[in-house]
Amino acid sequence: MKMGMVIDLEKCIGCRSCMVACKQHNAQPPQTWWNRVFTPGSHRHLTPPAKGVEFFLPVHCQHCENAPCEKVCPVGATYHAEDGAVLIDYERCIGCRYCMSACPYGVRQFNWEDPAKAHQRSEYQEQYHYGYPEDHRHEGRLVYMPLRPKGIVEKCTFCAQYRDKGELPACVRGCPGKARFVGDLDDPASEVSTMMKGRNAFTLLPEKGTKPTVFYLPPKAKEV
């Protein structure tokens, strides 16, 4: 199996519900966003719109097959799970941030917050309580904690804690435009494989050689 995601840019309306669902379900601290939606014209819009085509661009970890973050991690904390998702083992991460420098997509975030201290501040209490409430192990490794320690790096896991229960990632469930899909890229009959047929699916920054497993379907040209 090769886990992957397809995002249909024709259907993305830029509402940022996926950002909020991701943040809430994964208990991200203040200032941290694992998943962001960029507006056309933003310098973070990694694929400039072609003439006559403008689209919002959701970007989170691209779960690269050839992941530079994994290669530079000195303690083996970042690794490929058996299904191909790139995960971080919080029991190993030492917060050196080499992976943040290596990732060309800028999706990794450093946790500056001590959750115990943040917990005591009333305005943050709820933010540290929402989300999936329990620590979660995937293949024996600690890949999700609602109260993550200060000084670790974190990012999208394709919602490992939900997928292991047979549920879809939070962003997929939270998208009102039904623009996001996950599935097995190795299965030619899967929904994600079928959707990409005939749609000129593309990946972000292909020149970096990272081989992302997040694919985007281009929107149709419109008069702008």
Residue numbers of the site for ligand SF4 (CB under 6 A)?
21-22, 26, 34-35, 60-64, 67-69, 86, 103, 105, 107-108, 155-159, 169-171, 210
Minimal distance, residue 125 CB to ligand SF4, in Å:
22
Q: CB nearer to ligand SF4: give 99 or 118.
A: 99
Minimal distance, residue 82 CB to ligand SF4, in Å:
16
Q: CB nearer to ligand SF4: give 118 or 171.
A: 171
Minimal distance, residue 144 CB to ligand SF4, in Å:
9
Minimal distance, residue 48 CB to ligand SF4, in Å:
19
Q: Which two tokens stand for residue 125?
A: 């209490």
User: Would you say the C-alpha torsion 204, 206, 211, 215 has a positive or negative sign?
Assistant: positive
Tell me the residue ranges of DSSP E strands in 44-155. Answer: 57-59, 78-80, 86-88, 109-110, 136-138, 141-144, 153-154
List, in order, residues 6 or more apart from 184 with CB less than 8 Å away.
1, 2, 3, 4, 190, 192, 193
Vertex 45 angle, CA 173 and 86, to 5°: 55
HSE (side-chain half, CA atoms, 13 Å) at 123:
1
How far is Cα 65 from Cα 62, in angstroms, rounded to an integer?
Answer: 9
Q: CB nearer to ligand SF4: give 52 or 209.
A: 209
Q: CB nearer to ligand SF4: give 67 or 145.
A: 67
Asked whether the beta carbons of 153 and 160 are under 8 A apart, the reply is no
Minimal distance, residue 8 CB to ligand SF4, in Å:
15
Q: CB nearer to ligand SF4: give 54 or 65.
A: 65
Q: CB nearer to ligand SF4: give 56 or 158.
A: 158
Q: How far is CA 15 from CA 12, 37, 66, 110, 179, in A?
A: 8, 8, 31, 25, 11
Minimal distance, residue 145 CB to ligand SF4, in Å:
14
